[in-house]
Chain A
């Protein structure tokens, strides 16, 4: 299988001139269609910056070097105009806080239809049909009615479903998901994980899943890379990583999971 998105020796420097820090150091990853590549690590390990660098969503002071290729196209060094043609169209992103992808004062319907009309040049009526279809697909109840409502009128889980609908509106090839279930209740999280898994299979999406939650990682990722201090310390298939971790840091992370520990009280 050929890679849809190839990250090769990516490094990112951040910060003011006198205190530049390399927060991503030589990261290489390949995303394949129909597969979920997990990127694990603790806060500050550089996993979010890696995802952001793919779409050029870094602060102005940041400098990314190395290569990020979408098919044959190099994304590093592209101007904002070219990047805008890729963002949302071919590579979409969802975040921990779905409100980050939704405008609080615009109805869900307008946001979804504006989005598809802008990117896909659909007519008003077609755009509306597309919006209903998308909301149905992510299992938002009563989509027709939902279109007239505002983000705050939905629960956190429903908001994340809507953000996913928005991300998938233009049939992207790649989905970057940064801690998409971290802010959700565990029963709601389970529903979103099922949805993601189904969407990946039916649309042949290539997904980069950034999460610190090894339980989530284990249930949904096909391959896993572990980051620490800006570098990937270990990567492999899900099964390898969880059952036969090689790097001491991976082992440390797994041993620290409550599941791995004997209870004091039981």
Chain B
């Protein structure tokens, strides 16, 4: 069994609202799985349940075969620091009153507690395209984009086996989004880690994910290798989503707009759209 992460029939509820309705997935080492969909489809709730920030109403989340415990006030057991998260807003992963070097050092200590080597904070800053001497700065002394790079460095410093990244690049300037996404993929693969990459931006997902899962209203409607789903979408929702992306080709072509606000067929279950495989 080589699965890093195994999620089976995950259900997340907030009161009467079912945000995630039976999602299953696996991630292997060195693999980037993208979870895409529009706001409110349940992708962030899925991520939160996976890392233990929300308690699943049903289903299981296993990391290397062990169920991931819900986060509490107590420090997490060392073996689970191998799961790291990067959020959309870097301010929610950084402490404003601590120098970034010390915060990255927290990650380094988490790695050492699991008996792993990790580089010095300065080296991690360089790995994400910043300068080593920035370690003595506080988060507010960085721009928003740089702060997200720091948050990524902090997560990577813990030498995670699994990174759960929830819209890690959408707060960045357009010109650095693709490069930061590429950098995350690169660093992840070099470390042999797996990554769950959550995004609403399909053009970035195409660049970096091995497999993709498309979510709509709490359920996965289509999944498979990125090239297959991108090149030949089967589910009506996936088709609408891909057709709606405007392309910067200068042709002045408006992207296709759905005829209705949320056509019923988008929520339909299409068996052949799930777990698609490239024919041998």
Contacts and interface: CB of A to CB of B under 8 A. Distances in A.
Given A187-B244, A194-B257, A215-B247, A256 B252 contact: no
Contact of A218 (B200, B252, B258): B252
Contacts of A120: none
Contacts of A155: 261
B62 to A, nearest CB: 26
Contact of B206 (A157, A191, A256, A263): A263
Contacts of B202: 186
Contact of B261 (A157, A221, A257): A157
B178 interface: yes
Chain A CB within 10 A, most for which of B176, B210, B230, B245 = B245
A219 B252 contact: yes
A47 to B, nearest CB: 12
Interface in A143-164: 155-158
A87 interface: no
Chain B CB within 10 A, most for which of A186, A218, A259 = A186
B123 to A, nearest CB: 24
A180 B258 CA distance: 18
Contact of B247 (A185, A188, A193, A218): A218
B203 A258 contact: yes
Contact of A43 (B173, B207, B227, B248): B173
Nearest to A158: B261
Interface stretch (A60-68, A126-134, A236-244): A236-244
Contacts of B257: 187, 190-191, 193-194
Residues of A in contact with B, size category = 35 or more
Contacts of A188: 38
Nearest to B145: A43
A218 B253 CA distance: 8
Given A185-B200, A187-B241, A220 B185 contact: no
A238 B252 contact: yes
Interface residues of B, number: 46
Contacts of B210: 265
Interface string B211-249: 000000000000000110010000000001101111111
B249 to A, nearest CB: 6
Nearest to B202: A186
A218 B174 contact: no
A218 B246 contact: yes
Given A42-B174, A258-B203, A187 B38 contact: yes
A220 B251 CA distance: 9
A122 interface: no
B206 to A, nearest CB: 6
Chain B CB within 10 A, most for which of A212, A221, A243, A258 = A258
A187 B257 CA distance: 6
Contacts of B20: none
A263 B206 CA distance: 7
Interface string B19-39: 000000000000010000011
Interface string B151-188: 00000000000000000000001111111011001000
Interface of A: 42-43, 141, 155-158, 185-191, 193-194, 197, 212-222, 238-239, 241-243, 252-254, 256-261, 263-266
9 contacts: A187-B241, A187-B244, A190-B257, A194-B257, A218-B249, A258-B206, A264-B207, A265-B207, A265-B208
Given A188-B38, A216-B246, 10 more contacts: A189-B244, A213-B174, A215-B247, A219-B247, A252-B175, A253-B175, A257-B174, A258-B203, A261-B182, A263-B206
